[in-house]
Structure 1
């Protein structure tokens, strides 16, 4: 970021730059929506109409309008329509949100407010590079710096990306992922014909949206190559299966990927690794697990098993996803069933070791969850 340009905050939407004062982009966005009061407008439409440099910044301004009640927000795809309150505001910025009070004694601010994911679940931001992980990802997107998140399954990589980018599209990688899963394919119509439906890569490029390639290292390298011209300076691809159609990326388009090291079949090639300028390790946040109601013995057992995982003594250890599942099962079926279920989630080769650790924290009668005799 240019040192002369003040960073955007929760109270000040990102600006166009060009030396204009804060709030200029917001007022442009609001004015354009007010000029089309009966229309539902996509982010890309607004970005093009006002000649903005970043559709991501436009999206943030639109979300700020929606949060203030100045615009309706429709999902799938994201569309916005100005409300009467927005028209009455005549482009004025909403009042700033109240700041969280400082915690007593230490002078540090209270826990950062959680961010809602598209499914309604809350994500609790974590510290990263002097800010929060959500803020850092948004800043990297603004500068077109791609990120590879890596860490064991269940540590919250996908949740972080969903919290950071409300306009996210996702490709879930497997060994069976093909080029058409990125570019699109023909689908049959009821009348017997076929229609070409664009894939998430094409949609993200044309609408200036973020694209998460989840479990990227499970995807065959030849398939992943479809991403590379979209990510480099060209930012252009063609669709060989559909008239060699040319697709150019608009501002806001961004690629981020997730990688689970050690998972069977995962291959991090040099070609893939070199495309991502920032690599961020994502591990389980034990304090967050406590905050979300996971019992301390379960957390201590998980920490011990993760130490064994790092030492190569086991191939699996429970992460945040499993611990939150533990808390839900405990609430529903009781503690013994939750412990037995956690043991049963371990791979068969690791189960005896996992059981031994769980017995240290929960008692000698711990075993995997198994059906018993008929009553």
Structure 2
């Protein structure tokens, strides 16, 4: 006897899911003639809104799909293929590129995943490492080696790491450079268990298909999993991760036949934490699951090496000293300084200085302007559209 397909208005649950429902990873070919259905759906939505940056959760709501985690994975894949650009300030946002518009939702060629439990050949100890988005990451010294090598050693021994520090210091970039096989879950206050495990998505024919979440994919494929902004995720939701990290290395999917998932060799969890972000809570349950905690700060020498003007670095160091003293709640890090250099090259030095002042939160803007004015020896105001000439 055939189990009825649920009505599109009522997403299936563990009790209502069709017994013959199929399952697929985000962006892969699910069943029949529906290759990359979710990928196309997200891509075409971005094509319809080409001038805007979008958060995964907003796209999930607009498209009426259950899992922002699946949407996030699609967006990461689009970014790696050059079909989208990724911006974080501090939230992850994505915008379609011309290449993505030209592709019109077509899946990019599958990127080969490096073999081996460590995610493939280790990046060299010296020189830049290329990230999936094509940008270079410059390894830094850590524990007598480089940060990239240290993360590889810890993965080999299954020692999970919690990276903490202000947004923009390079936590995500470090992990992406270290593990080419990386999957990512972007944490927010709206993250739910299904964003880890997966959920049913509606199909054009009115049926549903179960899409496995990043945690399930990472466990079964032996991949590294980054929980970005982990401390923004509700603790009860984050608890779904713990059985996969302890000696059991086994989880179950209650919403999909209580399916059992075992971690294979190579599965590894790393998390990022921004202590100064509003709503971030580092619980003892979370902190205790990570045996190594690494503070990530901005490398001022690297900023200089990458062409950031000395005055901008001096101002940033002054503002960061105020941040450490509790006088301000925001300070520019490497991400903002690299953005400063891009604006300087594209517009002018005064425009770049004014733009950096305008990026500061309103409550901190006076202190930021004072530091910039001192460093550059001129009066600074936030970048403002004036009256017509």
- Report the TM-score when normalising by structure 1: 0.71
CA distance in 2, matches of 1:223, 1:336: 46
8 Å CA contact 2:114–2:181 kept in 1: the answer is no
The answer to whether structure 1 residue 288 and structure 2 residue 286 are counterparts is: no
The offset of 1:361, in angstroms, is 1.1
The residue aligned with 2:326 is 312
The residue aligned with 1:366 is 380
The residue aligned with 2:127 is 113
The offset of 1:75, in angstroms, is 6.9
CA distance in 2, matches of 1:176, 1:158: 20
The offset of 1:119, in angstroms, is 0.5
The residue aligned with 1:44 is none
Q: CA RMSD in A?
A: 1.7
CA distance in 2, matches of 1:79, 1:116: 15
CA distance in 2, matches of 1:370, 1:330: 16
The residue aligned with 2:348 is 334
The answer to whether structure 1 residue 324 and structure 2 residue 338 are counterparts is: yes
- 1:187 pairs, out of 190, 195, 201, with 201
The answer to whether structure 1 residue 204 and structure 2 residue 204 are counterparts is: no
The answer to whether structure 1 residue 244 and structure 2 residue 278 are counterparts is: no
The residue aligned with 2:311 is 297
CA distance in 2, matches of 1:76, 1:139: 28
**Following superposition, which runs of at least 4 residues in structure 1 exceed 2 angstroms of deviation?**
74-81
User: Pairwise mapping of residues 216-227 of structure 1 onto structure 2 (< 5 A)?
Assistant: 216-227=230-241
Secondary structure at the aligned position of 2:337 is classed as helix
Question: What's the CA shift string for 1:141-195, capped at 9, x where partnerless?
Answer: 0000000000000000000000000000000000000001000000011110000
Question: What's the CA shift string for 1:171-221, capped at 9, x where partnerless?
Answer: 000000000100000001111000000000000000000000000000000
CA distance in 2, matches of 1:77, 1:178: 28
The offset of 1:365, in angstroms, is 2.2
The offset of 1:241, in angstroms, is 0.4
The residue aligned with 2:101 is none
- 2:286 pairs, out of 272, 281, 297, with 272
Secondary structure at the aligned position of 2:360 is classed as coil
CA distance in 2, matches of 1:112, 1:352: 40
CA distance in 2, matches of 1:79, 1:137: 18
* Number of aligned residues: 275
The residue aligned with 2:270 is 256
CA distance in 1, matches of 2:145, 2:113: 30
The residue aligned with 1:78 is 112
The answer to whether structure 1 residue 357 and structure 2 residue 332 are counterparts is: no
The offset of 1:79, in angstroms, is 4.8
The residue aligned with 1:344 is 358
Gap regions ≥5 residues in structure 2: 1-107, 116-122
8 Å CA contact 1:78–1:167 kept in 2: the answer is no
Secondary structure at the aligned position of 1:294 is classed as coil
Question: What's the CA shift string for 1:251-310, capped at 9, x where partnerless?
Answer: 000000000012100000000000000000000000000010100000000011111100
The residue aligned with 2:186 is 172
CA distance in 1, matches of 2:375, 2:188: 36
CA distance in 2, matches of 1:283, 1:323: 13
The residue aligned with 1:160 is 174
CA distance in 2, matches of 1:78, 1:135: 22
CA distance in 1, matches of 2:283, 2:147: 25
Secondary structure at the aligned position of 2:127 is classed as coil
Give the 3 Å change call, closer, same or farther, for CA 361–164 of structure 1 in structure 2: same
8 Å CA contact 2:113–2:180 kept in 1: the answer is no
Larger of the two Rg values belongs to structure: 1
The offset of 1:364, in angstroms, is 3.4
Question: What's the CA shift string for 1:90-116, capped at 9, x where partnerless?
Answer: xxxxxxx9x9xxxxxxxxxxx921111
Secondary structure at the aligned position of 1:309 is classed as helix
The residue aligned with 1:140 is 154
Question: What's the CA shift string for 1:61-95, capped at 9, x where partnerless?
Answer: xxxxxxxxxxxxx97463579xxxxxxxxxxxxxx
Give the 3 Å change call, closer, same or farther, for CA 320–234 of structure 1 in structure 2: same
Whose relative contact order is higher, 1 or 2, with alpha carbons under 8 Å and at least 6 apart?
A: 2
8 Å CA contact 1:123–1:159 kept in 2: the answer is yes
CA distance in 2, matches of 1:80, 1:288: 29
